[in-house]
Structure 1
Amino acid sequence: MDELIYGVWNGRVHDYRRDFGHPTPEDVPVGALQSFNPGNPVAGFAGPQGFLVFDLRATLAEVLYSYYRKARRLSCGRCTPCRAGTVIIAEALEKACNGEGESVDWAYVREVAALMAESSLCGIGLTTPAPILGAIDHFLDDLRHAPTVPRGTRDHYEVATAPCIEACPAHVEVPRYIDYIRDGHPELATAVLLEHYPLVGSCGRVCVRPCEKACVRGRVDAPVAIKDLKRFASDNAGEAVVDFFEKAPARDLPSPLAPSVAVVGAGPAGLNCAYHLLRRGVRVDVFEKEDHAGGMARLGIPAYRLPNRFLETETDAVARLGGRVHYGKALGRDFSIGDLFRRGYRAVFLGLGCPEGQYLGLEGEATDAKGYLKGLDFLLDLERAQDEGRSMPLKGDVVVVGCGNVAMDCCRSARRLLEGTGGRVTVSYRRTRASAPADPEEIEAALDEGIAFEFLTAPVEVVVEGGEVVGLKLVRMAEGEPDASGRRSVRPIPGSEFVIPCSTVVAAIGQKTDPSVFTPEDGIRFTRRGTIEVDASLATSRDGVFAGGDAAIGPTSLIRGLEEGETAAASIHEYLLTGVPGFLARRRMSEMLREGKLLDAEPPQPAPVAKPRAKIRHLDAAERVKSWDEVELGLDPDEALEEAKRCMRCYRLFSLTTLRPIPGKSALEEH
């Protein structure tokens, strides 16, 4: 069917069972909800807005039963109306699906649902009654006289989500792990996070927090400190994250007869792809050109933000699950993609990152001048020096060009290297502070550490004398009118050039992949941006080869890289089973919610009393620049408890019914 047949949506009743060919109701996002995976139309949909039926082969009872079966599993038991109500509603709908709808006391079920909607304590209890209330009030006969539905006739997909979950690239169940912290179980909170990735403590330190920007609590006072609570969970789980994976007995390791996959690159994307494949019973070999895992999370993030000791314990999870990691093995030098297939690997994942920094690209610039550095090279050289116990000499003044997170890592690292020498660090950025892509807290930390910023300035010339950098010529910029995206253009102000004397210029303006590791025989196509071309399933132009993370989408955050790895694992697993790259059900559901504008940002309950957000403690700025000790100190148990209580548990539940099986659906993917 290509139109709505009947339903109740936002309190409005629609019944077109005798009126085919009717116009699409303007208040129902029919177009966004009708198709799930290709060739598999949606027969029914339920959510906080109500329910919709698009195909009469699906009964109202089964559409609602999948919804309330999930609601019953989600109910936390903190309040009786929801805990008891979801059970009563689900059992009534199960009877209806079995052809016993006339034996149900629907008036009582309605009374229970109304009580849930009035007195529950979170989004599950407050918003899930809407579909059953609409059905009982307007389509009761369809429940009473529902025909028996044979098991497995239709397929279903349910997602419990919230604005913070949808904003997180990995769709981490934020309210769920915060619940465990509030209940005094950080180890269970960590277990929730481990459903998505092993780098729990690392992500809790350096995540860019898209979830907090979407947090509904921000409409009341301030967003919940989600990232800091994640770190608290990991730091207080009672054991290192890797110890959650005791050395698996042979019976739990992937079978020697299982298909094997090669993962190239042990950065966040590669590690998480290997992690999720291993959890699905696939054998995995990881090939890493460095002598340690972590990729840019280790090489590009300074120790004062992410100490290596945390990252090392978390990256060991792959080995604990039975994966093999081969260090010192580089694509293009030690093997090719063709070699991997000839060795018997059934699929390959490319998690190569963007290991190449970029110069400023100024006309006539002397890239070989002493003191002219790429930002990424600067950070990599620093990490290797510290790994080897060497000092990294730096003297004079330093200018960092750019204002992303890499630029912040560069300027704050340079400040530490110059401590006690009298050298100064300046950051030049062509736009305003408000437009900077760096985490605002990183900019604030840099200012606290005495780093100067020249906003609305752009480089004109790297001044070189005798083969050495002696300064950077800048021009001041003026803002123009906003473009279609709302971002203001900038233009140079004639005659405003000035020079900042310095001995080092660090260009921190971007990174790119290294195409030299590929040959034409590899069959890998690239985009105009220089990234590996992939489709929605993360499959590349070569059959059996997938790519994700920085290599496929360009320089990105740790959490986005982790999400790409998990997504690739789901797609590769389906490819191994069927020969076709996987359909990504969770990603598709997010698209539907976004296109249909179904996830509102209003609190599910009356706004609570304003309560201040926990403020993370830091080392004193004057002291922290003297060492590479971790700057952020984390929350203590009392602070974490109070912060966890600020979560409003803004869950919304959505469910759809399809006429055909949904490919690639698994317990791991559904969370």
Structure 2
Amino acid sequence: MSKEKVKMPEQDPQVRNKNFEEVALGYTKEMAMEEATRCLNCKKPFCMDGCPVNVPIPRFIQEVAKGDFDKAFDIITEENALPAICGRVCPQENQCEGKCVRGRAKGSESVAIGRLERFVADYHRDHGKKDESKIVKNGKKVAVVGSGPSGISCAGELAKRGYDVKVFEALHKTGGVLSYGIPEFRLPKALVQYEIDTVADMGVDFETNVVVGRTITVDELEEEGFDAIFVGSGAGLPRFQGIPGENLNGVYSANEFLTRVNLMKGYMFPDRPTPVKVTNTVCVVGAGNVAMDAARTAKRLGAENVYIVYRRSEEEAPARKEEIHHAKEEGIIFKFLTNPIEVKGEDGWVKSLVCQEMELGEPDESGRRRPVPVEGKTFEIETGTFIVAIGQSPNPLIRQTTPGLDTQKWGGIIVNEETNETSRENVYAGGDAVTGAATVILAMGAGKKAAQAIDEKLSKK
């Protein structure tokens, strides 16, 4: 039995960095079955401890090994409403695969749980039958604010239990961060739409172009007769560094940059009406998955030199190792231990980025070694585009328009950890609106937990 995962076929790096087609091409049936035989089917499945939505991982993998992909899909979707998405964007190396017993053995890799989940979901989409079972309605209705991962997860779980669920989405397109934040080459938007359509087929109603807190308030939703409300409005408010020159033309938040490209299809300009200006050299500050997405997108839009500028070392970079690996393959240039301190301009446009060399000092409160400036060591990178990808916060609209809703100083909604209920009775919240920007699967776990708590509470009434 191989100690290494079955390799996933991918586009050649020098081809894919010029197109927006998916990088990883997926397993064949034979590859999936071969990889599934690597699972030890442990009596104590530690892999499940790492899954925020409690997918019965060994059970579905055993069905893949037998070639019963339909049964494997049924097992996954007992707990996970978005398997094709999770199989692509979850940080499995820190979750299920990070706890895999096979991966703990010296020189051995964990079972490719994410790749197998992706295969099963894709196979079902191409070959499986739609679920025709009828859901018995219970006469209660729930409003869900936001159609991102937490909102979709909550809506799907409640629909299964017979609730009339209406999802309110601020943008003109459903999917939240799945639609506006993650690039096509990592997560095809047709796939996102398919997953959302599956939830809609369960009876969930979606209404777009509704900004809760502006178009309608939480109080007004209660007045309309919703028995409970779930707030999964995400974290779409970008943070900036506060350095001189950040107001120049040519400075983007990663949020705006990726929204222009992903949601507004800026990469198809002029066939689509949204232009996205990038120059020959682009600098991206940050080293999370969003920074990798922005840098790799800029490369595909034609930038020749794309820099990732990060004040810590590669070891501390929060992005998935796979994303860093793919970025390097595609020609992204990494400037670690480097911190932007000024954006210089000319005629109102970005001209260069002044950078400070850093070194690692003593650990800070996060446990990571604190970056400190190296005295007298600065340099400039000539660039016309600067993208800031250092994190996002929840939009303040809902907290500003909902009396009695307790929030953190930085804007996150405070919830009961067991139920995800807020300080407002029958108002629940989850995902990035509570935690700040995190992962898709953690947001889904929060939506699922809230749905269960809503059902338990309303079932008693």
TM-score w.r.t. the length of structure 2 is 0.85
The residue correspondences of 1:220-259 to structure 2 (distance < 5 A) are 220=105, 221-237=108-124, 239=126, 244-246=130-132, 249=134, 252-255=135-138, 258-259=139-140
- Equivalent residue in structure 2 for 1:273, among 145, 149, 154: 154
Alpha-carbon distance, 1:360 to partner: 1.5
Deviation track 1:218-270 (CA, whole Å, cap 9, x = no partner) reads 122111111111111112226477x5333x54xx3424xx1111011111100
Alpha-carbon distance, 1:204 to partner: 1.0
Contact 1:418 1:424 in 2 (8 A): no
- C-alpha separation in 1, matches of 2:42 and 2:264: 51
Contact 1:356 1:514 in 2 (8 A): yes
Q: Report the secondary structure of 2:301's partner residue.
A: helix
The residue correspondences of 1:655-670 to structure 2 (distance < 5 A) are none
Deviation track 1:181-238 (CA, whole Å, cap 9, x = no partner) reads 1110122211122112221111111111121111111122111111111111112226
Contact 2:285 2:291 in 1 (8 A): yes
Distance change >3 Å, CA 522–CA 239, structure 1 → 2: farther
The gaps in structure 2 that reach 5 residues or longer are 1-39
Q: Report the secondary structure of 2:124's partner residue.
A: coil
Q: Which residue of the partner structure matches residue 234 of structure 2?
A: 353
- Equivalent residue in structure 2 for 1:540, among 422, 428, 438: 422
Tell whether 2:363 aligns with 1:509.
Answer: no
Distance change >3 Å, CA 426–CA 200, structure 1 → 2: same
Query: Which amino acid is 2:52 matched to?
Result: P
- C-alpha separation in 1, matches of 2:219 and 2:59: 44
Distance change >3 Å, CA 238–CA 453, structure 1 → 2: closer
- C-alpha separation in 2, matches of 1:123 and 1:570: 28
Q: Report the secondary structure of 2:423's partner residue.
A: coil
Q: Percent identity of the aligned residues?
A: 37
Q: Report the secondary structure of 2:334's partner residue.
A: strand
Q: Which residue of the partner structure matches residue 441 of structure 1?
A: 322
Tell whether 2:265 aligns with 1:386.
Answer: yes
Contact 2:217 2:402 in 1 (8 A): no
Distance change >3 Å, CA 238–CA 456, structure 1 → 2: closer
Query: Which amino acid is 1:443 matched to?
Result: I
Alpha-carbon distance, 1:443 to partner: 0.6
Distance change >3 Å, CA 522–CA 237, structure 1 → 2: same
Larger Rg computed on CA atoms: 1
Tell whether 2:457 aligns with 1:567.
Answer: no
Tell whether 2:65 aligns with 1:182.
Answer: yes
Alpha-carbon distance, 1:441 to partner: 0.9
- C-alpha separation in 2, matches of 1:531 and 1:195: 30
- Equivalent residue in structure 2 for 1:466, among 347, 350, 353: 347
Tell whether 2:380 aligns with 1:499.
Answer: yes
The residue correspondences of 1:15-26 to structure 2 (distance < 5 A) are none
- C-alpha separation in 1, matches of 2:71 and 2:194: 18
Tell whether 2:460 aligns with 1:578.
Answer: yes
Deviation track 1:607-664 (CA, whole Å, cap 9, x = no partner) reads xxxxxxxxxxxxxxxxxxxxxxxxxxxxxxxxxxxxxxxxxxxxxxxxxxxxxxxxxx
Q: Report the secondary structure of 1:201's partner residue.
A: helix
Contact 1:430 1:457 in 2 (8 A): yes
Deviation track 1:409-435 (CA, whole Å, cap 9, x = no partner) reads 00000000015xxx3100101111111
Contact 1:245 1:317 in 2 (8 A): no
Contact 1:532 1:552 in 2 (8 A): yes
Alpha-carbon distance, 1:519 to partner: 3.6
Query: Which amino acid is 1:254 matched to?
Result: K
- C-alpha separation in 1, matches of 2:171 and 2:136: 26
- C-alpha separation in 2, matches of 1:468 and 1:299: 26
Query: Which amino acid is 1:561 matched to?
Result: A
- C-alpha separation in 2, matches of 1:123 and 1:235: 26
Detail structure 1 runs of 4+ shifted over 6 Å in the superposition: none
Q: Report the secondary structure of 2:192's partner residue.
A: helix
Q: Which residue of the partner structure matches residue 669 of structure 1?
A: none
Alpha-carbon distance, 1:392 to partner: 3.0
- C-alpha separation in 1, matches of 2:392 and 2:125: 38
- C-alpha separation in 1, matches of 2:439 and 2:77: 18
The residue correspondences of 1:333-372 to structure 2 (distance < 5 A) are 333-362=214-243, 365-372=244-251
Tell whether 2:185 aligns with 1:304.
Answer: yes
RMSD: 1.9
Q: Which residue of the partner structure matches residue 549 of structure 1?
A: 431
Q: Report the secondary structure of 2:264's partner residue.
A: helix
Distance change >3 Å, CA 378–CA 500, structure 1 → 2: same
Query: Which amino acid is 1:180 matched to?
Result: E
- C-alpha separation in 2, matches of 1:379 and 1:524: 31
Q: Which residue of the partner structure matches residue 88 of structure 1?
A: none
Q: What is the count of residue pairs matched by the alignment? A: 412
Contact 2:213 2:401 in 1 (8 A): no
Q: Which residue of the partner structure matches residue 24 of structure 2?
A: none
Alpha-carbon distance, 1:314 to partner: 0.7
Q: Which residue of the partner structure matches residue 375 of structure 1?
A: 254
Tell whether 2:48 aligns with 1:165.
Answer: yes
Deviation track 1:368-399 (CA, whole Å, cap 9, x = no partner) reads 31011111111011123317842533223100
- C-alpha separation in 2, matches of 1:270 and 1:240: 27
Contact 2:152 2:196 in 1 (8 A): yes
Deviation track 1:150-185 (CA, whole Å, cap 9, x = no partner) reads xxxxxxxxxxx6221111111211111111111101
- C-alpha separation in 1, matches of 2:216 and 2:51: 35
- Equivalent residue in structure 2 for 1:285, among 157, 166, 172: 166
Query: Which amino acid is 2:98 matched to?
Result: K
Q: Which residue of the partner structure matches residue 642 of structure 1?
A: none
- Equivalent residue in structure 1 for 2:309, among 428, 448, 460: 428
- Equivalent residue in structure 1 for 2:297, among 403, 409, 413: 413
Distance change >3 Å, CA 562–CA 304, structure 1 → 2: same
Deviation track 1:300-334 (CA, whole Å, cap 9, x = no partner) reads 00000011111111111222111111111110221
Alpha-carbon distance, 1:483 to partner: 5.1
